Every structure is written in structure tokens, then in C-alpha cells.
Amino acid sequence: MTKLGRELAAKGINVISLSVGEPDFNTPDHVKEAAKKALDENFTRYSPVPGYPELRQAIVNKLKNENGLDYDISQIVVSTGAKQSLSNVLLTLVNPGDEVIIPTPYWVSYSEMVTLAEGKSVFIDTEIDSDFKITPAQLEAAITDKSKVFMFSSPCNPTGSVYTKEELAALVKVFEKHPNIFIISDEIYEHINFVNQHESIAQFPSVKDRVIIINGFSKAFAMTGWRLGYIAANKEIAAANDKLQGQTTSGTCSISQRAGIAAYEQGLESVLEMKEAFARRRQLVFDLLNDIPGVRTNLPQGAFYFFPEISSFFGKKDPEGNVIKNSADLALFLLNYGHVATVGGDSFGNNNYIRLSYAASDESLKEALRRIKEALAKLA
């Protein structure tokens, strides 16, 4: 959709993109300054495969101070974005035929990465009525003797759902009965949480040793292009990731790593400013979505996405007589008739929804939602 949107824009059409998953803010100045300094100080050579020790120590400190978690730097591997961290972990843990349990909707790359690792994705479906969260009974029912990994994000992309400590505790009770299952906890949206303090499933001692935390700098510090993510895991998994990465990308960009140290050492002021803007936009989009007949939404508790239900439009026709059969058709219709780029829920494993990112200015969001409302009224 982003590509199609760009093509329309190249033809001179004003397209509002709500399809991409990145903050619309600039990287904070102190982080950029640290990168400039890194260049001047010649941090331009190969770095250690799992990352500079100073960066891994800053990550250890962050996990201790913000999350109350104890890790040693030998348990941290820095990679080229959280995306590579996820891919490394799956490639090291999953053998052909192993099952990876993934609640839907999930971030697009999860199931494709499982396929690349020759594993099999097993989905647990969730809907808007349960705030897109799984129950312990659903988890239990999905587990077989081939289950190797459970992977999820909280706050979640694409739904913005956030698991509470109590909800995580209930899932942990199930994992305690199945000690061979690893848990990939994708916490990349940790700092964009509007209601609760961030809770990590690694905070439960009974499972901590088999939790792999995925985190990074892209979302919290508006550093998507710097490609900086990491895992915190047990020493064996960290060592295996180090070994794999040593034969693929080696250590990630030296300059980005120096910038990452500054980001973690300087604290969360810039993150809080960004979060304030996201909180305001969240309310704005929530009110505007609720004003569109046929669209049903929840109020996401984190990240910067809405995942409204749009299945009431299936079977309707656009002014040229094309039938809207699924979420991809609806996203295409909104692009062509409303000039707003969104993403069909089928990309995230749930066809009855579309994803809208609200990482855009208030004015763009108001105009985008006005266009969406106007376009949807044309379906009959």
C-alpha cells in the first residue's frame, strides 16, 4: 500500500499515508550529536559481533532500572534492527517442523520468518471483543508436542493491545506446565503505552530463563533508519545468536551503536514528548472513527495504530461496480477513492480489519478520517 500510495503521489495526487509503522518525529538532537561525535572519533570500523560492550552495558542498565530485570552483558546481542533480532532468534531456535504459536493479529513478518526457519506457524485467533488478547485456555489448546516457541508483541502491532501483569501471570501458569516452550516477547513499543507501566513476561522468575526479550531503538527514539535492535536472553541463546550473526551481518552499524548509547544514557524526555503527541492523536482518531457508520474500533492502549473492524462493508460495491470482498479490497478502495493509504488486516492474519497508523500530524489525521468517511459512504 505504501508503494501504491507513492505511485499515486508521483502522479500529483495528494495521498495521506497512514500505512507505515514509524514515528513521524525526528531522532532527538542529542542522539544525532552522538553519531556525529562517533564519526569524528573514528568509530568507523567493524564492531564486536554482538555490539560494543558499552552499548550492551547501557542495555543491561536500562533493563535493570526500567524493568527490574537482571541480565549480564553476555546475555545481550545487538542486531540490525529488532527485525534481525527476531529473525536470528527464530533461525537459532526453530528446527524444521517445529511449531511456533502466534496470536493473530500479529506483526506481518512473524509468520514469514517462521517459514524461513522451516517452522510451522500455529495461530490463535483473537477479535476486537476480547481486545485482541488470548486467554490461557486458548493458549493451552494451541500447544502440541511440537510446540517450540510462542511469540507475541505487547504493546501489539497492529492492535495496540497491552497485556496487564495479571493477564501475563495467567499465561505464565500455562507455560509452567510446558517447560520446553520458549517465549519471544517483542517489546519494541514498550514506551508507547498510554495506560499502564510496561510489564514484561520476563519479570516472572518461573519462565525468565526461556523468555527472549526483543527490543530496540526504532520506535521509542524515532530511529527506524538507524537499524538498532537487541535481544536479552539466556546465555546459550545469546551465544547462538552471536554465532549466527557472525556469519551473516556481523556487528550492526558502529555509528548507530554509539548513538544508541546516548539514547539510553540520556533518559526518556524525548520519548515522553512523543508519547504526549501520540496520546492526543489517539483520542482524535478514536472520536473520528466512532463517527463513521459501519466501522467498529476499540481504544488501543499502546503503540500508534488503530485496528478497526470493517467487515460490514464486505459485499458492497464501489461506484464502478467492483465488490469489496476483503480487507485488501477495502484498503485499495480507500486509496483510490479517499487517497488514504492503510493496510488490510489480512496482512496481519485477520481479514475483518484494517490498520491505520496515527503517526501523522493532527491535520493529516483529521483530513484522512474525513476522506475515509466520505469514501465509505460511496459503497452501496
- 225 vs 315, beta carbon nearer ligand PLP: 225
- Check residue 28 for interaction with ligand PLP (CB under 6 A): no
How many Cβ atoms are within 10 Å of 210's Cβ, its own excluded?
A: 20
Distance CA 110, CA 143 (A): 18
Q: Which residues 6+ apart lie within 8 Å of 87 measured at CB?
A: 109, 113, 116
In the list 56, 62, 83, 371, the residue contacting ligand PLP (rule: CB under 6 A) is 83
The residue range among 25-33, 78-86, 191-199, 340-348 that interacts with ligand PLP, by the rule CB under 6 A, is 78-86
Instruction: Please state the closest distance from residue 318 (CB atom) to ligand PLP, in A.
Output: 30
Q: Which residues of 23-46 are buried (b: 16+ CB within 10 A; e: fewer)?
A: bbeebbeebeebbeebeeeebeee
In the list 16, 17, 21, 308, the residue contacting ligand PLP (rule: CB under 6 A) is 21
Distance CA 268, CA 278 (A): 15
Footprint of ligand PLP on 306-335 (CB under 6 A):
none
In the list 19, 67, 153, 297, the residue contacting ligand PLP (rule: CB under 6 A) is 153
Q: Is 253 helix (H, G, I), strand (E, B) or coil?
A: coil
Asked whether the beta carbons of 337 and 364 are under 8 A apart, the reply is no
Residues paired with residue 21 on neighbouring β-strands, in sequence order:
none
- 153 vs 379, beta carbon nearer ligand PLP: 153
Q: Which residues 6+ apart lie within 8 Å of 276 measured at CB?
A: none
In the list 5, 23, 28, 81, the residue contacting ligand PLP (rule: CB under 6 A) is 81
Instruction: Please state the closest distance from residue 255 (CB atom) to ligand PLP, in A.
Output: 16
- Check residue 186 for interaction with ligand PLP (CB under 6 A): yes
**What secondary structure does DSSP assign to 178-207, as a single string?**
-TT-EEEEE-TTTT-BSSS----GGGSTTT
In the list 218, 252, 256, 301, the residue contacting ligand PLP (rule: CB under 6 A) is 218
- Reading the block at residue 234, the C-alpha cell is 539466556
In the list 82, 139, 181, 232, the residue contacting ligand PLP (rule: CB under 6 A) is 82
- 94 vs 288, beta carbon nearer ligand PLP: 94
Q: Which residues 6+ apart lie within 8 Å of 91 measured at CB?
A: 116, 117, 244
- Check residue 104 for interaction with ligand PLP (CB under 6 A): no
Footprint of ligand PLP on 244-283 (CB under 6 A):
none
Residues forming contacts to ligand PLP in the complex (CB under 6 A) are 21, 81-83, 107, 153, 157, 186, 188, 216, 218, 224, 229
